[in-house]
Amino acid sequence: MQRGNGVDFDRFIEAANIGGEANLAIVNRYIAANRNNMARTINAADRYGNTALISAIEKGHARIVTALLSVPGIEINAASHWGSALAWAATFGSVPIVTAFLNVPGIEINAADQYGDTALIHAAIKGHAPTVTALLSAPGINITKINNDGRTAEQEAVRKGNHDIAALIRARIQELERLRNNLEVRPHIIPQVQLASTFQERLAKIKFKGEIPEDFLCPISKNIMNDPITTAESGIAYDRHELKKWFLQKGNPVKVICLLTRKDIQRSESDNATIVILKNQIERFVKEQEKVAKEIVEGLEIERRHLARLRINLFAPSVQPQQEGHGKVMGASSAAAASNSLVHASSSISKAAQAAAQKAALVAAQIAAATAAAQKAAQAATQRAACAGGAIKKSCTRI
């Protein structure tokens, strides 16, 4: 590796790892001496697989991180098994380092690791309240993004017992919703935060009035589930939020009785993993309804324009003055043809809507069939997990 002012690459990495004033000077000397070639070495790793940036982040050396971030060509969004550099900084909870990253143009604030965890989710899991606060105020942060387990940063905070973190996130979401719903402000004043809509809200937006497959409905609310989970004994899918709310309404008992099977549901089961297969099925169903609604709107707009043109043709003069006698016959003929076209166009609107509705019904039936198999597989998986964990003390029958 290259040397700069008596500093070789390994010494450069070591200095970034150890930190302190003396080592900050070594890092700066190496950067200055290799300014023209730093793009090739700044992202290189030592024999242990560590880059200078990752080493400095892990040890919390904010000034060294800031110096490294100023080097042209540094890969600020490079991902590894521990996630992005920002996610790594959030995991260790260094507010100065996280803030330094947030100030770098091009930072991908919502980048996720192999488990779907973002910087915000990492900070929420580890319980770093100041880091969570810094991330929540960043433009473009996706507060409600879910990881591979189907949980948001708020839900992960609750799962880990970090209720103060969950309260911070909830308060920020409510604040942003108040800004959007109640204040007359210019668009650029509100931070660009992405708030995910529930499946129910998305269907309401398109004024969906059709039938939702029964397996997609929560037995408690009778609404489409946004975060479906299953329980060990009943094997029935419930919406996580509705199940938690149900427990609270009943005084937060240790267990409740399933509405459908009359079997026990333990309070701890409200933290079971999301049924990803079922959630994907619901997502597909909702997307299909949104697509159908869009097609209907576009079709109606085309027909509306067609009708407008026909009306213009119907009432427009169709003959020249010198052909008055002949024109009366032609005008009457044109009017009759245009009237027929109006009738035909009007009927085509209802036909287009009917065809779209039939298509939606067909897709819903296909999804419902696939969901039944998914539900059965999820129930079997949950029961196997309960057996393996010792939850069922008697010998388990083969599933």
Mean residue pLDDT of the chain comes to: 76
Whole-number pLDDT of residue 43: 78
Q: How do residues 282-302 score in pLDDT, each as one tens digit?
A: 999 998 888 888 887 777 777
pLDDT category at 158 given cuts 50, 70, 90 is very high
For residue 347, pLDDT over 60 is answered with no
For residue 380, pLDDT over 90 is answered with no
For residue 82, pLDDT over 80 is answered with no
Average pLDDT over residues 165-190: 70
Q: What percent of the chain has pLDDT over 90?
A: 19
What are the sequence ranges of the domains in the chain?
Answer: 3-189, 200-318+331-399
For residue 321, pLDDT over 50 is answered with no
Listed in sequence order, the DSSP H helices in the chain are 9-18, 21-33, 38-41, 52-59, 62-69, 85-92, 95-102, 119-126, 129-136, 153-159, 163-182, 199-205, 240-249, 276-315, 324-388
CATH of span 3-189: 1.25.40.20
**CA 50, CA 54: separation in Å to the nearest integer?**
6
Higher pLDDT, 174 or 392: 174
Higher pLDDT, 361 or 34: 34
CB atoms inside a 10 Å sphere around CB 21: 7
Average pLDDT over residues 26-36: 80
pLDDT category at 118 given cuts 50, 70, 90 is very high
**CA 338, CA 240: separation in Å to the nearest integer?**
57
Q: What does the DSSP assignment read for 85-154?
A: HHHHHHHHT-HHHHHHHHTSTT--TT---TTS--HHHHHHHHT-HHHHHHHHTSTT--TT---TTS--HH
pLDDT category at 325 given cuts 50, 70, 90 is very low
Average pLDDT over residues 382-396: 46
Q: How do residues 144-157 score in pLDDT, each as one tens digit?
A: 889 988 899 999 99
| Fold annotation for 200-318+331-399 | Herpes Virus-1 (3.30.40)
* The pair of three-digit structure tokens given for residue 190, joined into one six-digit string: 């509100």
Burial degree of 234 (CB within 10 A; 0-12, 13-18, 19+): buried
Which residues are registered as beta bridge partners of 255?
266
